[in-house]
């Protein structure tokens, strides 16, 4: 079977045989190891599904607890997010793909609807503030639908190819509401990311970045301390 493609001038045509869907043929470690290494992996793998189910159940349990149930919330959060420093404060609801692949420094605060799809490592420094509806999104899908769509093997089992890119967030950062950070991004220490920004590339330290895609509009300096004086009077 061939596709016929119209050339740019609308007159000539070119026939070509479609490239078949990608198949993973290399010797493979576990799908979990492939995923954390940033390689193409099968997201429908039973081990990964089990880990996601555990995370989803813990998220649901945490989200159902009242804010005043401090001890119970901490116990669930410690199980969901075992790699965190002192003073983690998460309002909820929260949504994590795995939880175990996200590392928090000390004194991190996350407002309502914090979403982290941590199929790749997510690393967050100390003293980071997340506004409501912030999403950290490492997952990537193939661009061609032939490679992206869920397919089935001869035995009827499904396979679903994805890959993920890590996210690194430095210390002393503040994220406004509805910020989205995509995979492969590093945000330096001391940054402010404006509300609604979509961060698609690295942000250097001490930057203010806004927009979609996010762009740096200012470097923060000690001179910015003077702006607080009006509020301190």
Averaged pLDDT, 101-117: 99
Q: Does 38 score more than 80 pLDDT? A: yes
- CATH code, 110: 2.160.10.10
Q: Please say whether the dihedral angle defined by the alpha carbons of residues 79, 85, 87 and 89, taken in this order, is positive or negative.
A: negative
Is 141 annotated in the active site? Answer: yes
Highest-confidence segment of 16-20, 21-25, 38-42, 100-104: 100-104
> Residue 220 domain-assigned?
yes
* Integer Cα distance of 146 and 17 in angstroms: 14
> Residue 187 domain-assigned?
yes
Look at residue 22 in the predicted model and tell me its pLDDT.
64
> Residue 6 domain-assigned?
no
158 or 199, which is more confident?
Answer: 199
Q: Does 19 score more than 80 pLDDT? A: no
- Region of 155 (left: φ > 0; alpha: ψ -120 to 50; beta: rest) is alpha
- Host domain of residue 167: 31-232
**φ, ψ for residue 70 (rounded to 5)?**
-60, -50
Q: Which of 83, 84, 101, 141 is catalytic?
A: 141
* Integer Cα distance of 104 and 123 in angstroms: 6
> Residue 23 domain-assigned?
no
Look at residue 29 in the predicted model and tell me its pLDDT.
74
Tens digits of residue pLDDT in 152-184? 877 887 888 999 999 999 999 999 999 999 999
Among 41-50, 164-173, 198-207, where is mean pLDDT lowest?
Answer: 41-50
> Residue 17 domain-assigned?
no
> Residue 80 domain-assigned?
yes
Q: How many domains does the chain have?
A: 1
Among 45-49, 122-126, 133-137, 149-153, where is mean pLDDT lowest?
Answer: 149-153
> Residue 185 domain-assigned?
yes
> Residue 16 domain-assigned?
no
């Amino acid at each position: 079977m061939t596709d016929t493609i119209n050339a740019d001038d609308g007159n000539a045509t070119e026939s070509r045989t479609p490239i078949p869907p990608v198949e993973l043929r290399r010797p493979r470690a576990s799908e979990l190891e492939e995923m954390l290494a940033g390689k193409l992996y099968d997201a429908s793998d039973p081990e990964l599904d089990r880990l996601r189910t555990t995370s989803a159940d813990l998220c649901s349990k945490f989200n159902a607890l009242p804010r005043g149930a401090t001890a119970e919330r901490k116990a669930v959060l410690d199980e969901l997010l075992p790699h965190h420093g002192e003073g983690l404060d998460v309002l909820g609801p929260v949504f994590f793909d795995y939880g175990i692949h996200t590392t928090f420094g000390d004194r991190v605060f996350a407002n309502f609807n914090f979403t982290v799809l941590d199929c790749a490592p997510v690393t967050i420094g100390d003293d980071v503030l997340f506004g409501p509806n912030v999403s950290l999104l490492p997952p990537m899908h193939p661009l061609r639908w032939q490679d992206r769509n869920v397919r089935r093997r001869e035995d009827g089992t499904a396979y679903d190819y994805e890959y993920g890119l890590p996210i690194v967030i430095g210390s002393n950062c503040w994220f406004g509401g509805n910020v989205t950070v995509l995979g492969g991004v590093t945000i330096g220490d001391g940054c402010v990311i404006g509300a609604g920004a979509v961060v698609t590339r690295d942000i250097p330290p001490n930057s203010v970045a806004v927009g979609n895609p996010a762009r740096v509009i200012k470097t923060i300096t000690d001179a910015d301390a003077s702006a607080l004086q009006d509020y301190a009077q």
